Amino acid sequence: MQLPFVTASRSTSTSQTDRPALPVDPADTPPDGLLEIGRIGRAHGVKGGLVVTLTSDRTERVQPESRLFDGQQWLTVVTSRSLPQHKWMVLFEGLSDRNAAERFTGRVLSAEPLADAEALWVHELIGGHVVDQSGVDRGVCIAVIDNPANDLLELDTGHLVPVTFVVSVDSSTRPHDGGVITVEAPEGLFDLLD
């Protein structure tokens, strides 16, 4: 599971940052529960393409007809292609030239959660009570840390638990406070800070 990261973006463009005139649709109101999936970088080419860096490992986010929210309006992907360094060149509906595209640089892209029962989602882990294989409540997951070997659950107790130890996530057990994350941790993992 790849987790979101934040990078600072710097635009070298000297163009104006007003919004391009795109059709306004009342359905452009952002729904609750959107997840950050990437960031728009620089304009690419003269036909309105943009470089998008995904903060998700789910490349279907930039497939044609995908709808992404830029914080102000919904954008629909017309075409996309992979670039080096985990980036994508994306052409959005309504952006037909470089000047229009440059006005979108630096924006964070969000989308609705995907339905995938096999995946562990960061937004479902945060707030969950971590319980070990013996049934002992080890704390609440307050963050998920991106780590080269394995992502880590950061608990309010200070413990770090590799995501690979997660056996199940059950939000129906404690729906009012994030649910229960069951882990099968090796002996001694929770003794390090005790």
Residue 152 pLDDT > 70, yes or no? yes
pLDDT at 110 over 50: yes
Structural domain spans, the chain: 31-111, 122-191
Class of domain 122-191: mainly beta
Per-residue pLDDT tens over the stretch 159-170: 899 888 888 888
Phi/psi of residue 155, nearest 5 degrees: -95, 155
Round the average pLDDT of the chain to a whole number and report it: 79
Residue 129 has pLDDT above 80, yes or no: yes
The alpha carbon dihedral of 178, 184, 187, 188 has a sign of negative
pLDDT band at 3 (very low <50, low <70, confident <90, very high): very low
Residues 6+ apart with CB under 8 A from 130: 137, 138, 139, 140, 141, 153, 155, 161, 181, 183
**CATH 2.40.30.60 describes domain 31-111:** yes
